[in-house]
Structure 1
Amino acid sequence: MPDTSPLAVCVGEGLVSLVPTVAGPLEDSRTFRRSLAGAEWNTAVALASAGIDAAVVSRVGDDGFGRFLRAELRRHGVDDSAVQTDPDAPTGIYVKELVPLADGAVEARMHYYRTGSAASAISPATIADATVGRLIEAAALVHTSGITPALSSTAHAAQDAVFALPRGERLLSFDVNWRPALWRRREDEGGDVLTGYARRADVVFCTIADADAVFGVSDPDDVRAFLPEPRYLVVTSARGAIAFDGPDRTESSALDVPVVETIGAGDAFAAGFLAGILSGLSLTGSLARAHRIATRALTSTRDHVD
């Protein structure tokens, strides 16, 4: 990797996404396309597309899907040296069910098969691995999300281990990514956990809906009042985004593009904003870059930019 480019390390779950080639009920879907998925993996791919050196810390199974995911990272220029292979647990997958909408777009319904997966067994030992340690030590930024601590008790402990690492000048980025299905029957615990991470991060992303569900506030300025600790806070909605850098505040509208399907656009948006701040862009410039990269995910049924 070139020495002149900052390194961003994304820590979290990778999945294989199976997407029907034709929209409709799953029982009528005969053929599927596979692609890389997982919030942090999507972000890593988008960061690499924006010219930022990116690496992933995760675990996959010793199976064809795991080998496919690692090969996809390399194809997109993402370092996979810290993706560990589990000899016993499988690689997680999810299936998209595409429901046609009247305007020509589709609504995606997700069906996850990740219980007992290799990624759900990520643990503090994963973070303590020598290869992982070298990458994080060299990183200008580490990116995580609220999905990881919801996967298992060991994954929660791994996230804690990431947040406990000496930070120095390195930025720690956190995307709230509230997934109520993963916190079912422990929603209050999940809210407390994600709030704690958000307060300790340097960069925080959340949607208006997630802010309402997790923090109990939905106005962006109220979210900022609730989370004064992070230097950067970005609150997004379908209409656009409002970003804060310390006391500074700016907002921007989403770009007007044909929307095919929205899954993964938030990960691409986060990558664009992070690429902006790592490249020394202003708050306004970072937001503009975020919107441009997000549009590349909105116009496809894949979760990541290509």
Structure 2
Amino acid sequence: MSDTANSARTLDLITLGRSGVDLYGEQVGGRLEDMGSFAKYVGGSPTNSAIGAARLGLDTGIITRVGSDHMGRFIRQQLEAEGVDVTGVVNDPERLTALVILGIRDPESFPLIFYRENCADMALCEDDIDPDYVAAARALLINGTHLSQPNVSAATLKAVHAIKAAGGRVIFDVDYRPVLWGLASKDNGEDRFVSSEQVTQELQHVLPLCDLIVGTEEEIHILGGMTDTVAALRKIREYSGALLVCKRGPDGCVAFPAAIPDQLDQGIVGKGFPIEVFNVLGAGDAFMAGFLRGWLRDESIEQCCTYGNACGAIVVSRHGCAPAQPSAEELRVFLSRNDWPRRLRDSAALEHVHWATNRLTGYDKLTVLAIDHRAQFDELVEELGTNNLDRVTDFKELALRAMAQVAENEDGFGLLADGRYGRSALESAAGGGYWIGRPIELPGSRPLRFEGGREAATILADWPLDHVVKCLVFYHPDDPAELRAEQDRQILSLFEACRATRHELLLEVIASKNGPVEPDTVARVIEHIYALGVYPDWWKLEPAVDPATWTAIEQVIAARDPYCRGILLLGLASDEESLLASFSAAVGNPLVKGFAVGRTIWVEPAMRWFKGEIDDAAAIAQMAASFSVLARAWRDARQDPVS
């Protein structure tokens, strides 16, 4: 392909084919019948590879259909968040999004059931293919499943001809699932090979149009029409001059750019990595993404094999397919050393890189209205003698409306609300595009305790995944050793629960209530928490006007966790003037993304509203006015442009 043609491309890669939702059994080591809960992930081989390629830095799009249903919206939202172009994703109002239920029984058994009867992605047709969109990509990835029915086969071939006419390249992932060709019983979706002359013939039709063909040994067998791998490769070579890549699991892969030798190992061998297999599902899709990262950048075949094998090794160590795909930074870290544990998921260092570099939403700025207070509202209601806690719930709904009024259509606004009195506000905020935080600590507890006296993991099992877990801990580095040890145990258990349940963690530290605060006091607490092996996504810290305090904090976070999302300033019921002064002191620190302030904004209107002195509209207006002043002041201090 010429340099001129390359420069006109808007995408590196478009994938075409299956797109569904994986419901992954969370219990490992038993039958699917015995699994009691399931994690929901995006699935489908081309979709997994699209996400994997996007994470590795390729500009990627996808052509598929999803249902006009909750699961279809979930797929679209996830793809958009991952940076995958969804121009080619068609909403199908007549069909439901495909589902797959699957589990991990043992290293050799992965029970899998496809729910794909008349599903959306198998209704893809020629009319869904825009030749101009396809032609704008450098390469098109197709898969065998979408050659199994006339309509999807016709759509695939239309896309193939469009990209070939534009000088692009075609990649073929054999992706053979006998059950999807009607060759295995519906409860045997994990079957990888059933011989079929008809399937072989259908697959071979596309071979002359391919530039890269990738498959496992079983897939090479079906593609070549024989179970001797070398003989099957030679048959494939009769149809295509493409680069052939045979995946061999833990043994890595072998690539054949030209004639097929007498033995597999006489090809270009890409060695595998000695990683324990936890879950093979999705490893091939990761291999494809890794291989294409190199191949589409014209790197050597050997380097492409290394990328592919490394990505596959990373994914076989984890639960899930799409969410297990590595980022470019994670791949770099993995390849930078060769002493990883065989049980790769036991590496806290790599797991943190995976988590931190694959978070889906970034925040340059964050302006949060904090209405998560519980004890303060209990005191307010008691003081006023209303004895009507339902009114607290109503007031917190008004606070959400005040925040939304200030936010309008601007990004970077959020709400911090509790599940006790703020549940309806949390429910109303869902889907609004806001950052949502939620407290888990028992108010005022020291040592730290969690709401309701329960363990953190039990509490978080009920929370939506987009709720950031906020935990306030009263911690001073000079606290008694016994107290610090108890606090440490709770913080560590919370962090582990957050990672297990896929929730981000905002750790709020208040040191000033339990001892003198020097410029390095908070930095010492942060350093200690990192030493525990705890890596909060966010820190929420007391305002400080001393630049030395912020310098110390920034140095610790930069050294310990360069992937940290950032810091939010808390208000501590400070008056507006004090808060504005703290903004000026903190704004120069790039880690400080904004603030989460509450009592400064809501205390006065709450008092007046509960007394009946103002109505709902006036309470909303007063809170919105105060919140707007702070938001504008922060924006001005940062010199952000007005949107």
TM-score under structure 1 normalisation? 0.89
User: 5 Å matches for 1:159-198?
Assistant: 159-165=156-162, 167=164, 168-184=166-182, 187-198=196-207
Match of 1:284 among 279, 283, 302: 302
Q: Which has the larger radius of gyration?
A: 2
* Structure 1 unaligned blocks of 5 or more: none
Distance 2:71 2:114 in 1: 15
User: What does residue range 26-37 of structure 1 map to in structure 2 within 5 Å?
Assistant: 26-37=32-43
- Selected match of 1:11 from 8, 13, 16: 16
Aligned to 2:212: 203
Deviations 1:17-37 (A, max 9, x none): 001111223333221100011
Q: Secondary structure of 2:104's match?
A: strand
Whole-angstrom CA distance in 2 between matches of 1:221 and 1:199: 19
Q: Is the contact made by 2:141 and 2:171 (CA closer than 8 Å) also made in structure 1?
A: yes
| 1:67-106 equivalent positions in 2, closer than 5 A | 67-99=73-105, 101=106, 105=107
Aligned to 1:146: 144
- Could you tell which deviates more after superposition, 155-164 or 10-19? 155-164
Partner in structure 2 of residue 236 of structure 1: 247
1:44 to 40, 50, 61: 50
Q: CA deviation at 1:169?
A: 2.6
Mapping of residues 59-74 of structure 1, within 5 Å: 59-74=65-80
Matched with 1:303 is: 321
Q: Secondary structure at the match of 1:33?
A: strand
Per the alignment, residue 268 of structure 1 pairs with 286
Q: Is the 8 A contact 2:271 2:306 kept in 1?
A: no
SS at match of 1:95: strand
Please say if residues 9 and 135 of structure 1, whose CA atoms lie closer than 8 Å, have aligned partners that are also in contact: no
- 1:149–1:216: structure 2 CA closer, same or farther, 3 Å change rule? closer
Find the residue that maps to 2:47 and give its secondary structure.
helix
* 8 Å Cα contact 2:254/2:268 also seen in 1: yes
**Matches of 1:83 and 1:60, distance apart in 2:** 7
Counterpart residue identity of residue 119, structure 1:
D
More helix by percentage: 2
1:4-49 per-residue CA deviation (whole Å, 9 max, x = no partner) reads: 9852000111010001111223333221100011010111111111
Contact 2:11 2:61 in 1 (8 A): no
- Mapped contact 1:93–1:114 kept (Cα < 8 A): yes
Return the offset for 1:155. 1.1
Q: Is the 8 A contact 1:6 1:278 kept in 2?
A: no
What SS does structure 2 have at the residue aligned with 1:227? Answer: helix
CA pair 51-3 structure 1, distance change in 2 beyond 3 A? farther
2-structure distance, mates of 1:45, 1:193: 28
Letter in 2 for 1:230: G
Greater mean deviation of Cα atoms: 67-76 or 244-253: 244-253
The 8 Å contact of residues 264 and 302 in structure 1, kept in 2 or not, is answered as yes
Task: Name the residue aligned to 2:263.
Answer: none
Q: Displacement, 1:76?
A: 1.5
Decide which of 183, 206, 214 is 2:223's aligned counterpart.
214
With over 3 angstroms needed to count, the CA separation of the structure-2 counterparts of 1:163 and 1:137, relative to structure 1, is closer
**Offset at 1:135?**
2.7
| Shift in alpha-carbon separation, 1:266–1:166, aligned structure 2, 3 A | closer
- Residue 178 of structure 1 aligns to a residue in which SS? coil
SS of the residue 2:221 aligns to: helix
Distance 1:266 1:298 in 2: 9
1:197-252, CA deviations, whole angstroms, 9 ceiling, x for partnerless residues?
A: 22321110111112223313455543442223233110111222111223594112
Quote the Cα distance in structure 1 between the aligned partners of 2:163 and 2:138.
13
The alpha-carbon deviation at position 181 of structure 1 amounts to 1.5
The answer to whether residue 250 in structure 2 is matched with residue 245 in structure 1 is: no
Deviations 1:231-283 (A, max 9, x none): 31101112221112235941122111122100111111111111111112101
**In 2, Cα distance between equivalents of 1:277 and 1:214:** 22
Q: Structure 2: which amino acid aligns with 1:287? A: C
Q: Does 1:56 align with 2:62?
A: yes
Higher relative contact order (CA 8 A, sep 6+): 1
CA distance in 2, matches of 1:153, 1:5: 30
Note the 1:109-148 alignment, pairs <5 A.
109-127=111-129, 129=130, 133-148=131-146
Q: CA deviation at 1:64?
A: 0.5
Of the candidates 16, 25, 30, which is equivalent to residue 20 of structure 1? Answer: 25
Distance 1:263 1:235 in 2: 17
Q: Tell me the CA shift for residue 59 of structure 1.
A: 0.5
Shift of 1:297: 1.5
Tell me how large the CA RMSD over aligned residues is. Answer: 2.2
Tell me the CA shift for residue 122 of structure 1.
Answer: 0.4
Q: Tell me by how many angstroms 1:160 deviates.
A: 2.3
Deviates more, 1:218-227 or 1:198-207: 218-227
Q: Aligned partners of 1:6, 1:182: CA distance in 2, in Å?
A: 30
Q: Which runs of 5+ in 2 are unaligned?
A: 1-6, 184-194, 261-266, 327-643
1:246 aligned partner, one-letter code = A
CA offsets 1:172-217 (integer angstroms, 9 cap, x no match):
0001112212223693221101122223211101111122233134
Deviations 1:45-70 (A, max 9, x none): 11111111100100000111000011
Contact 2:146/2:153 (<8 A) preserved: yes
Provide the rounded CA distance (Å) in 1 between the counterparts of 2:228 and 2:306.
21
Secondary structure of 1:30's aligned partner = coil
